[in-house]
Amino acid sequence: MRYLWVSLLWAQAPLWKADLPANARIALLPDGNILVLSKENVYALSAAKGEKLWDCRPCTHFTADEWRPVGDYPIWEAGTLVNADPQIPLDSVRRMYPFWWTSGYMVLNAATGRVVFDATAKGEHWYWVSGRAILPSQGLLVIFGVGPKNPNAFLSLQTSIIAGYDLRTGQQLWRRPASDKNASEQLHSNLAAYDGKVYFLTNRALYAVDAATGNTLWRTEIVKGISLRATTGTYIFIDEEKDMVMAFGRGRLIAVRRADGQRLWQKPVDIPRDNVIHAFSTSRGVLLFTDDLQPGSVQAPTGRSLFFPPLALLLSYENGANLWGERLRTPGLLSGYIPLDENRLLCLFQRER
């Protein structure tokens, strides 16, 4: 048994004391209350009196170490975002029979104790979750992944799904396939959320949807006909000052007008490993940094991988041209940065993983 003591700095006696499970992990929430995570239970204690504010029995499907905070919000998640985990390959058997392989993923509002999202809950049944975005101004959680086209049917075709949930109550506000037009379109990108809109990239087009309703605002094709280029390492970048959205995927970089999706330009860009990890807006152009490994891989580069070092590119806003004339080889993988002004970044590079 473990104990948690809380007292004032100038007091000799504790304000209150609480018994904790032996394997408990504790964390301080943004509102000052205390989150207790263990295999037996997940609950919150009042920092003022030590009273239990709520407990979450469904949360015990995950160990204490599997829970992690999401940014500065009172939101915690547990489980696996499958496309980001190289240890869970999406092999052919899994793609053909996904209902055998449902992957656990849960989102908890630690301020209220509500489970906002549970991939294995009745009526949800997501096969796997690939990513999520939080829109705090709208109190909205957006999830994307793969699930049944009809979640109420015993057998249903699998398709890319995107859905919105109320962060406070966990109510599903909307659910839709990635594409309104073509069921074969698969969602591969990260989600970019800004100003009440969610942007995502399928293997054929760039989309903007209304975060409140899930309705499509615009769709801009990036591929017409058949393309044999794999859809890996996709990346979406929003530039507020230029009022544009830029997306990289299938060896192409496309820039569109943020308001209506009108194509400004599109060009092929040869990036080793197809993996853009960071993009920055500067007064001269958009600065891209690349990885030297395939998306999701955490293995140290060996063999031929040593011939594909991390790179930096400065691309023109007007036409996507490389303003440096060549790709700059960086000292290592970009792992941190501090903006100094609109034209200078203090970068931290790591040579080893």
Annotate 2-65 with DSSP letters as a single string: EEEEE--TT-SS-SEEEEE-TT-EEEE-TTS-EEEE-SS-EEEE-TTT--EEEE-GGGGGS-GG
Could you tell me the pLDDT band of residue 67, with boundaries at 50, 70 and 90? very high
Is residue 32 included in any domain, yes or no?
yes
pLDDT value for 98: 46
Q: Which two tokens stand for residue 211?
A: 């975060």
Answer with the residue of higher pLDDT: 186 or 312. Answer: 312
CA angle in degrees (0–180, nearest 5) for 282-285-291: 90
Answer with the residue of higher pLDDT: 223 or 27. Answer: 27
How far apart are alpha carbons 9 and 206 in whole angstroms?
A: 55
Rg over alpha carbons for the chain, rounded to the nearest Å, is 23
Of 134, 123, 119, 27, nearest in space to 81 by CA: 119
Q: Which two tokens stand for residue 335?
A: 């792992």
- Whether pLDDT at 173 is above 90: yes
Is residue 28 included in any domain, yes or no?
yes
Torsion of CA 319, 324, 325, 329, to 10 degrees: -120
- Whether pLDDT at 193 is above 80: yes
Looking at the chain, the whole-number percentage of residues with pLDDT higher than 70 is 75
User: What is the residue whose two structure tokens read 């990890």?
Assistant: 277
- Whether pLDDT at 348 is above 80: yes
Torsion of CA 307, 310, 316, 321, to 10 degrees: 0
Answer with the residue of higher pLDDT: 300 or 205. Answer: 205
Q: Which of 44-48, 59-63, 333-337 has the lowest mean pLDDT?
A: 333-337
Is residue 269 included in any domain, yes or no?
no
Parallel, antiparallel or unpaired: strands 235-239 and 244-249: antiparallel
pLDDT value for 150: 67
Largest CA-CA distance found in the chain, in angstroms, rounded: 75
pLDDT value for 298: 47
Long-range Cβ contact pairs of 217-226 (< 8 A, separation 24 or more): 217/261, 218/260, 218/261, 219/180, 219/181, 219/261, 220/254, 220/256, 220/261, 220/262, 220/263, 222/247, 222/249, 222/250, 222/252, 222/254, 222/266, 223/250, 223/252
Q: Which two tokens stand for residue 205?
A: 């087009």
Q: Which two tokens stand for residue 185?
A: 């379109």
Q: How far is CA 15 from the centre of its chain?
A: 40
Q: Mean pLDDT of all residues in the chain?
A: 78
Q: Which of 225-234, 248-257, 309-318 has the lowest mean pLDDT?
A: 225-234
What's the structural domain count of the chain? 1
Is residue 43 included in any domain, yes or no?
yes
- State the average pLDDT over residues 43-53: 87
- State the average pLDDT over residues 229-256: 79
Phi, psi of 73 (to 5 degrees): -90, 160
CA angle in degrees (0–180, nearest 5) for 13-16-18: 130
Is residue 23 included in any domain, yes or no?
yes
Is residue 13 included in any domain, yes or no?
yes
Q: Which two tokens stand for residue 245?
A: 């959205």
Could you tell me the pLDDT band of residue 221, with boundaries at 50, 70 and 90? confident
pLDDT value for 34: 87
How far apart are alpha carbons 27 and 127 in whole angstroms?
A: 30
pLDDT value for 352: 64
Boundaries of domain holding 29: 1-53
- Whether pLDDT at 301 is above 70: no
Is residue 41 included in any domain, yes or no?
yes
Do 83 and 89 contact (CB within 8 A), yes or no? no
pLDDT value for 110: 92
Answer with the residue of higher pLDDT: 309 or 8. Answer: 309
Q: Which of 40-54, 213-227, 241-255 has the lowest mean pLDDT?
A: 213-227
Q: Which two tokens stand for residue 64?
A: 């204490």
Q: Which two tokens stand for residue 154?
A: 């015993």
- State the average pLDDT over residues 30-52: 87
